[in-house]
Amino acid sequence: MNGIEAIILGLVEGFTEFLPVSSTGHLVLAQRALGMPGNEANDTFAVIIQGGAILAVLGLYWGRFMAMARGLLGQDRNGLVTFRNLVVAFLPAVPAGTMASLVKEHLFRLDVVVAAWAAGGLLLIWLHRRRRGMPPDQGRTIETLSWQGALLIGLCQVASIFWPGTSRSLMALVGGLLAGLSLMAAVEFSFLLGFVTLLAAVAYSALQVGTAMVRDLGTFHVFLAFLVAALSAAVSVRFLVGTLNRHGLGPFGWYRLALAAVTGILMWNGILVP
C-alpha cells in the first residue's frame, strides 16, 4: 500500500461509514479496484480505519457524551436513559461479533456486497415513499426511547454483521424508525450506537491481528488512512443530516441501486474480481 491508496481508502471509509450505503461494501470495492486482494491484512485494515469515523462522532456529539457521563453520576436523567439504551442496543452485537471471522472468510465478497446494495436500496426507497409528507422530526426523541425499542434497534443492527454490504447505519436507522423514533432521532441514535459498536470492533481487530496488519501495510499508511477517515466522516455526518432534512431517504436508495448495477456489470465483464 502507498500513500495515495491510503488516502483513497480513508476517504471512502470516512464518507460512507455513517451513510446508509455500507462503508464495508465501498471499501471492498475500492480495494478490488486498486488491485488489493481479499486477505487478513486488508480486511482488518478495513475495520481498523473505522476508528477515524469514531473520532468524528465523538467530536460532533461531545455534548451528548458528556450528558451520558453526567447521567452516570446521577446529574442528568436523560443522559442516563440514553446510556442505558446504548448499552441495551449494543448487547446483541456481542455474541454476533464472535462470528465475524466466519463472515469475513465466506461472505467478504464483492458479489455478496452487490446483492446487499440492491436489497438495501429497495428498502430505502420503500421507506422514503412510506414516510412521504412526514416531517423528519415527527416521532419519539432519543430521550423517550424505551429499552425495548433500543433492543429492537440492536437486533436490526446485527443483520449487517451477517450480510456484508447491508450497512450497519441503514439497519440501525430502520430499527430506530420501527421503534417509533423520528427520522432525525433515528439517525442520531445510529451515530451514537455506531460509536460504541465500531469502538468494540476496532479494539477486537487490533488485538487479534493488528500487529500483522501494520507489518504488511505500514504504520504510516494505516495512520494516514485513519486521519483522513476522521476528517471526511465529520463532513459526511453533516451531509447526511442535511440531505435527510431536505430530500429524505430516497436519494440513498437510488444511489445503492445504481452502484449495484454498475458494479454488477463490471464484474460480469471481468473488469472487477468478486
Question: What confidence category does residue 186 fall into, taking pLDDT thresholds of 50, 70 and 90?
Answer: very high
C-alpha cell at 272: 472487477
Cβ(190)–Cβ(149) below 8 Å: no
C-alpha cell at 148: 425495548
CB atoms within 10 A of CB 4: 11
* Residue given cell 486488508 in the structure block: 42
274 Cβ neighbours under 8 A, 6+ residues apart = 109, 110, 111, 267
pLDDT tens digits along 224-241: 888 888 899 888 888 888
pLDDT exceeds cutoff 80 at 171: yes
Partners of 140 in the β-ladder? 181
Please tell me the predicted confidence (pLDDT) of residue 161. 80
Please tell me the predicted confidence (pLDDT) of residue 101. 59
Question: Which of these, 233, 208, 211, lies nearest to 50 by C-alpha position?
Answer: 233
pLDDT tens digits along 80-102: 999 999 999 999 988 876 666 55
Residues 142, 252: Cα–Cα separation, whole Å: 23
pTM: 0.84
pLDDT exceeds cutoff 90 at 118: yes
pLDDT exceeds cutoff 90 at 168: no
**Helix (H) and strand (E) counts in the chain:** 14, 0
Share of the chain above pLDDT 90, in %: 38
Residues 263, 173: Cα–Cα separation, whole Å: 25
Residues 69, 63: Cα–Cα separation, whole Å: 10
Q: Which carries the bigger pLDDT value, residue 193 or residue 49?
A: 193
Question: What confidence category does residue 213 fall into, taking pLDDT thresholds of 50, 70 and 90?
Answer: low
pLDDT exceeds cutoff 80 at 7: yes
Cα 96 → chain centroid: 16
Please tell me the predicted confidence (pLDDT) of residue 68. 95
Question: What confidence category does residue 38 fall into, taking pLDDT thresholds of 50, 70 and 90?
Answer: low
Question: Which of these, 188, 205, 166, 174, lies nearest to 240 by C-alpha position?
Answer: 188
Partners of 181 in the β-ladder? 140
Question: Which of these, 97, 122, 116, lies nearest to 23 by C-alpha position?
Answer: 116
Give 166's Cβ-side CA count (13 Å radius). 16
In the chain, the amino acid numbered 222 is V
The span from the first CA to the last CA of the chain, in angstroms, equals: 20
In the chain, the amino acid numbered 103 is V
Please tell me the predicted confidence (pLDDT) of residue 204. 72
267 Cβ neighbours under 8 A, 6+ residues apart = 110, 111, 114, 273, 274
Three-state secondary structure call for residue 140: strand
